Chain A
């Protein structure tokens, strides 16, 4: 962007400035720290100049929105055309209660649904299973059967909303229920839109909701991707997630690197299953975190988009530009919230929302200020949604595309994070791929080391966290926390008993037998899963079919 002579002169003048005025001031008034770093530990210089982006080749590295390498965004007009989808993750208690929350959120201007399932559902257990004790309806809605699903979407037309479901190990089962429900609403499969998370690798790395060993788990992932390519073309078949990697303690660069590493594994698995890269490539989507350091987050998103585009084009030979686009959902950082002075979290979330908007996300969930204490109350959820609306409608952040491009700082940070991603990908490739790196505990340890380093910095007061190690105060506990009815499990168990008694036992049995049979071959399991849930098989019953065949995954622990 600058010619050689100009750069030389800028460099020389920067040196003069460093040795002159800066040194003089520092001698009298030392800077607040000897080294400044981002929350991820990236060193931050005093001042960035054109010399820091001397290699910036505009057309090749930045280009234009909607064009390769998509650094500046995946669509030509971005938020000038349509704002990001405001999608609040919600679910608790019974399907009936959650349905009421969804209809409330839609009425408040939310534009997409996002289903939080309780942990038994996520782990493939019915509400009456012994391991479900205490967990039913707690962190999400309890869904055992197609009947629960029908209640969950009562009066919500499935051709008018898109629905994101945070479901991984049993993703095929919940998608099957959703499709069966669409059919019952007379909505054809090709009008159904949404996302399943379906990302089992990050469950194994850090989120913990796995059921089966990695290989059969990957087979379910690929079957779902393949089925949707053929029959549910508007469905996002996977949401490759860095969110939880970051929550577990990773840095921004690690979040992006390990997510891309997982993405590479899924692409390879689909290609190994005989799929064409450009058939499934456009339906891959991603999910990231946004912390409070705005500029680092923006750089992370830009670096990730550029790197993924290159991987898809150069490594996997994608021809369709849509396959090269990293489209992603963002959730603001759960671990950045404090239980202390919880209203401060509103401000953190606002900054994180700004980072997300500047970063060019396709959809966003904003956390509620009370989430370090409990599930969010309706008031807190409303403030969280309004925060998005204020950033979208009032701040101007949505009016020009990728407005931080060209900032010496942001471009230098984008390059640096991209280099770090590249180093990790090369290292993981050399180890034999992601599954190997997970098996050896490499990825887990890298994340845990970062979490440990961060904690030590906080405790040594090297990093300031408002309300935690500075500006603390005595305060009364927050009142009116949301409580889930402890009788939930009884209610669900009772319902389940009736449901099981009322179904046609023969149809049910033969559907599960058929699923068992198909699962032992290479045939796609999806049609048999859809038949099984229509025949009123429960989530737990379908998952048990596979438990019997594949066994359960028990990871090695790396502490």
Chain B
């Protein structure tokens, strides 16, 4: 058995949206799956989220939005990560996100979007399969 580095994930709520049931629940589920989780709390700007990723040396950033601002915030976070040289950080998102926006978000560099009703073990599996550990 090889010792795996623990995956470190930032769970973030961009914008003014207060719906954090999903983000908090996933924070708990990820921790139980052996990941190291940092939950930012509400009202995060893209800059704050990227700062947290940098400071925490995160492998993954999870973004949650239920207020319809994903098209603005998610690509902005990806772009800022790139600017800071954090290209290898996996960005995933979830919340109330219409199917027709998903392709655009993926093109912008969000690896996956998990909508309502997604099984948490599917999300964990996706992260484990796609995270790039250095």
Interface residues of A, Cβ cutoff 8 Å to B: 119-120, 122-123, 125, 130-135, 138-139, 203, 206-209, 247-249, 335, 338-340, 372-375, 448, 451-452, 455, 459, 465, 467-468, 477-478, 481, 484, 486, 554-555, 557, 559
Report the separation of the CA atoms of residues A135 and B68 in the bound assembly, to the nearest whole angstrom.
Answer: 8
- B68-99 with Cβ < 8 A to chain A: 68-69, 71-73, 96, 98-99
A-B contact pairs, 8 of them (CB 8 A): A131-B15, A208-B43, A247-B21, A338-B116, A373-B99, A459-B121, A467-B117, A559-B37
A135-B37 contact, Cβ under 8 Å, with A248-B21, A340-B117, A486-B71: no
B67 within 8 A of A: yes
A131-B15, A340-B117 given; 18 more Cβ-contact pairs under 8 Å: A120-B16, A123-B43, A133-B15, A134-B72, A134-B73, A135-B17, A139-B17, A208-B42, A209-B16, A339-B117, A374-B96, A448-B24, A448-B25, A468-B117, A477-B98, A484-B68, A555-B41, A557-B41
Chain B interface, DSSP helix/strand/loop, else mixed:
loop
A-B contact count (CB 8 A): 103
Residues of B within 8 A of A452 (CB): 25, 28-29
The answer to whether A131 touches B43 (Cβ under 8 A) is yes
Q: Which of B18, B39, B98, B120 contacts A209 (CB 8 A)?
A: B18
The answer to whether B69 touches A135 (Cβ under 8 A) is yes
Nearest 8 CB-CB pairings of A with B: A208-B18, A134-B72, A477-B99, A119-B16, A134-B69, A138-B68, A339-B116, A559-B27
The answer to whether A119 touches B98 (Cβ under 8 A) is no
The answer to whether A203 touches B18 (Cβ under 8 A) is yes
Residues of B within 8 A of A373 (CB): 96, 98-99
B100 within 8 A of A: yes
A213 CB to nearest chain B CB (Å) = 15
Report the separation of the CA atoms of residues A373 and B99 in the bound assembly, to the nearest whole angstrom.
Answer: 8
Residues of B within 8 A of A335 (CB): 21
B119 within 8 A of A: yes
- B103-134 with Cβ < 8 A to chain A: 115-117, 119-121
- B22-78 with Cβ < 8 A to chain A: 24-25, 27-29, 37, 39, 41-43, 45, 67-69, 71-73
Report the separation of the CA atoms of residues A455 and B119 in the bound assembly, to the nearest whole angstrom.
Answer: 9
Interface residues of B, Cβ cutoff 8 Å to A: 15-21, 24-25, 27-29, 37, 39, 41-43, 45, 67-69, 71-73, 96, 98-100, 115-117, 119-121
The answer to whether A459 touches B120 (Cβ under 8 A) is yes
The answer to whether B67 touches A119 (Cβ under 8 A) is yes
A131-B96 contact, Cβ under 8 Å, with A452-B25, A455-B25: no
- Measured CB to CB, the nearest residue on chain B to A340 is B117
The answer to whether B98 touches A374 (Cβ under 8 A) is yes
Report the separation of the CA atoms of residues A373 and B116 in the bound assembly, to the nearest whole angstrom.
Answer: 9
- Measured CB to CB, the nearest residue on chain B to A247 is B21
Residues of B within 8 A of A338 (CB): 116-117
A369 CB to nearest chain B CB (Å) = 13
Report the separation of the CA atoms of residues A280 and B87 in the bound assembly, to the nearest whole angstrom.
Answer: 58
Report the separation of the CA atoms of residues A473 and B90 in the bound assembly, to the nearest whole angstrom.
Answer: 30
Residues of B within 8 A of A133 (CB): 15, 72
Report the separation of the CA atoms of residues A481 and B100 in the bound assembly, to the nearest whole angstrom.
Answer: 9
Report the separation of the CA atoms of residues A459 and B125 in the bound assembly, to the nearest whole angstrom.
Answer: 14
The answer to whether B98 touches A459 (Cβ under 8 A) is no
